[in-house]
Amino acid sequence: MKFFIDTADTKDIRELAATGLLDGVTTNPTLIAKSGRKMLDVIAEICDIVPGPVSAEAVSTDHATMLAEGRKLAAIAPNVTVKVPLTPDGLKTCKVLTDEGRQVNVTLCFSAGQAILAAKAGATFISPFVGRLDDISQDGMQLIADICQIYKQYPAFKTEVLVASIRHPVHLIAAAKLGAHVATLPGSVIRQLYQHPLTDKGLASFLADWAKTGQSILDDDKAGKSAAAE
């Protein structure tokens, strides 16, 4: 399963990219606004940090302007993935851009029918938003199950399921069980994945016992000398 980080905060991206676990980045207009920076600058910087796909979202709603925006965004770096909304104009734009050999992420997907349309339009990624469905008392993860099941029936569909709007580790684990190709996660959720109280407790107890030995792995001469002196 590929891990993307869902943010336009380059400090957070640098920190998590250093773990070696990041495969890509997704941004959206809200995240760009939150960064307080110029979109083209932020996307260029992110593309330098992470070699994998970096989603940059077009903001016009008509096909012609969306296509021009998509081409401009794609020209920033070879790893830009143009993000378009799941609308008739968005899918028309997706088809043209993918026919040109560019990567496209179709966003704001809330139904299996929409996901079928995106696959037929040649989308590289489809982004179903699980958290926002949960927010309105619908089962976001059921949508992931439906899309994964449908896409498996049609090997000609090359679109990857990119689970978006993930709010907590349970979402991520459920998506992984379903075989979703990609999860885009806020940095806070990636950090939560490391945590378990038994890991902390176990480590504290191992370190306390190790301290009693007086040994040092790196400075084993010193440990040897003190043992000989006794």
Interface positions, 152-191, toward ligand E4P (CB under 6 A): 164-165, 184
Nearest approach in angstroms of CB 164 to ligand E4P is 3
Using the rule CB under 6 A, which residue among 10, 28, 103, 114 binds ligand E4P? 28
Report the alpha-carbon distance of residue 203 to residue 205 in Å, rounded: 5
| Distance set, CA 150 to CA 91, 111, 129, 144 (Å) | 19, 12, 17, 10
Radius of gyration of the chain (CA): 22
φ, ψ for residue 103, nearest 5 deg: -85, 135
Cα–Cα–Cα angle for 51, 184, 139, nearest 5°?
160
**How many residues at the interface with ligand E4P, by CB under 6 A?**
11
Maximal CA-CA distance, the chain? 83
Interface positions, 61-120, toward ligand E4P (CB under 6 A): 107
Which segment (9-17, 124-132, 172-180, 208-216) binds ligand E4P by CB under 6 A? 124-132
Interface positions, 129-148, toward ligand E4P (CB under 6 A): 129, 131-132
**CA 14, chain centre distance (Å):** 14
Nearest approach in angstroms of CB 199 to ligand E4P is 27
Using the rule CB under 6 A, which residue among 26, 79, 81, 114 binds ligand E4P? 26
What's the token pair of residue 194?
Answer: 């490391």
Nearer to ligand E4P, 45 or 215 (CB): 45
**Residue 130 near residue 170 (C-beta atoms within 8 A):** no
Which segment (73-81, 84-92, 127-135, 204-212) binds ligand E4P by CB under 6 A? 127-135
Residue 31 three-state SS: helix
Which segment (10-18, 39-47, 117-125, 126-134) binds ligand E4P by CB under 6 A? 126-134
* Interaction between residue 52 and ligand E4P (CB under 6 A): no
Nearest to 28 by CA among 45, 1, 6: 6
Nearest to 80 by CA among 125, 44, 113: 44
Nearer to ligand E4P, 4 or 157 (CB): 4
**Catalytic pick from 11, 34, 38, 83?**
83
Nearest approach in angstroms of CB 56 to ligand E4P is 11
Cα–Cα–Cα angle for 159, 161, 33, nearest 5°?
105
Active site residue 83: yes
Contact positions vs ligand E4P (CB under 6 A): 6, 26, 28, 107, 127, 129, 131-132, 164-165, 184
| Residues with a known catalytic role | 83
